[in-house]
Structure 1
């Protein structure tokens, strides 16, 4: 589908493919479904589970450092949408990124972990999360994402319609876009682009 994955030997790099009868506008929801399955996997392994956070729209962080990335792509088929969900978890080592720091599971836990073993444990967790999303809809997923959302306790900065806006995270809309409330009480919906998180706590 036009993109390739590259990573460090020993890290977990995997893709799931399925054909689902879902509208294209709802596909973004699968990033959050997958991220919750990743935190389900990692939470029992780390000393401080509350340090695991999900950064909108598709990263899992530990103590503010990127531990996992998620990518969702689609192709139109007669029977529905062909969907590829790629995940990359830093297990043995972490690549250098300019945007923010990175970390790896073995560094966090100070214990060796095997990517294949992690993938085998991840599979039923993802299947359960996907099944819940298909059965119950997105609302429960969105609420659980908010409980683990990175930056919800601080002021964040966005560029909304070419205007910089400061605000706090309210949650997700029905399509997975980020809802932010500014200091005047106005709500902005961000469907793409970057969000910058300040060190200023929410009042």
Structure 2
């Protein structure tokens, strides 16, 4: 396992992408930073973190010898890997907020950004992960929390990283064995607000109610609306409100 530790970098995902463009990169190469000056989340959102207090890393996964027909399974697998690690730390009320935010008791403790590398086909993927670990104050982020805020325990970042990598290999193995249904079923069982009355906002800013049923193999959210109609939404089409 190749782990590259950096003091500060604009973005670990960007660092890995530049590495890939210049040289061969080994499977499961990991870039860890104590501080990111331009950390990124889903939909272009910035990921802010105090230096040295949280776990920020990007992982390179070689897919050249493994045909991944539906890329969203990568997102499901890494979400479940992080969930598995956090469960061993006894973090309570863990859920996945579609598509891949990790929550504990309605508070966001982890974000994931996946950037696939296409060379005629899906060749590899860069998985960026930010876990709020030992930071205790989040200015202007009322929905954010950390492992330390939740349990009162100060954690070793390297130990959590090692556990996440190990659990990522476990779920990657399931995909390689084509156990897609097992991964999808476990992901859906872990979905935040599944089968509960929930409020959503569409691209026009209109609010509507529905029940989360699950996801499609393409990663679209399945929502049961009025009259038992099931509608599928892409990430850019809908926002699940807390």
- Classify the secondary structure of the residue corresponding to 1:140: helix
- The more displaced of 162-171 and 182-191 is 162-171
The alignment yields a C-alpha RMSD, in angstroms, of 2.6
Question: Which residue of structure 2 lines up, in the alignment, with residue 112 of structure 1?
Answer: 154
Alignment counterpart, residue 175 of structure 1, candidates 205, 214, 218:
218
Kindly state the Cα deviation for residue 133 of structure 1 after the two structures are TM-superposed.
Answer: 1.8
What are the superposed Cα offsets for residues 73-92 of structure 1, whole Å, 9 maximum, x if unpaired?
02222574231011111011
Distance 1:97 1:128, change over 3 A: farther
What are the superposed Cα offsets for residues 52-87 of structure 1, whole Å, 9 maximum, x if unpaired?
111000100001000100110022225742310111
In 2: Cα distance, 1:110 partner to 1:178 partner: 34
In 2: Cα distance, 1:123 partner to 1:71 partner: 16
Q: Is the 8 A contact 1:155 1:197 kept in 2?
A: no
In 2: Cα distance, 1:188 partner to 1:44 partner: 35
The total of aligned residue pairs comes to: 195
Question: Which residue of structure 1 lines up, in the alignment, with residue 197 of structure 2?
Answer: 155
In 2: Cα distance, 1:187 partner to 1:10 partner: 42
Kindly state the Cα deviation for residue 108 of structure 1 after the two structures are TM-superposed.
Answer: 1.4
In 2: Cα distance, 1:75 partner to 1:182 partner: 36
Q: Which runs of 5+ in 2 are unaligned?
A: 1-12, 16-37, 40-47
- The answer to whether 1:196 aligns with 2:228 is no
Q: Give the TM-score, by structure 2 length.
A: 0.71
Question: Which residue of structure 2 lines up, in the alignment, with residue 142 of structure 1?
Answer: 184
Structure with bigger RCO (C-alpha 8 Å, 6+ apart): 1
- The answer to whether 1:133 aligns with 2:179 is no
Alignment counterpart, residue 102 of structure 1, candidates 122, 132, 144:
144
Kindly state the Cα deviation for residue 47 of structure 1 after the two structures are TM-superposed.
Answer: 5.5
Q: Which runs of 5+ in 1 are unaligned?
A: 199-203
In 2: Cα distance, 1:95 partner to 1:34 partner: 26
Q: Is the 8 A contact 1:19 1:79 kept in 2?
A: no
In 1: Cα distance, 2:105 partner to 2:192 partner: 10
- The answer to whether 1:184 aligns with 2:227 is yes
Residue pairs, 1:29-48, within 5 angstroms: 29-46=73-90, 48=92
Distance 1:97 1:62, change over 3 A: farther
- Classify the secondary structure of the residue corresponding to 1:38: helix
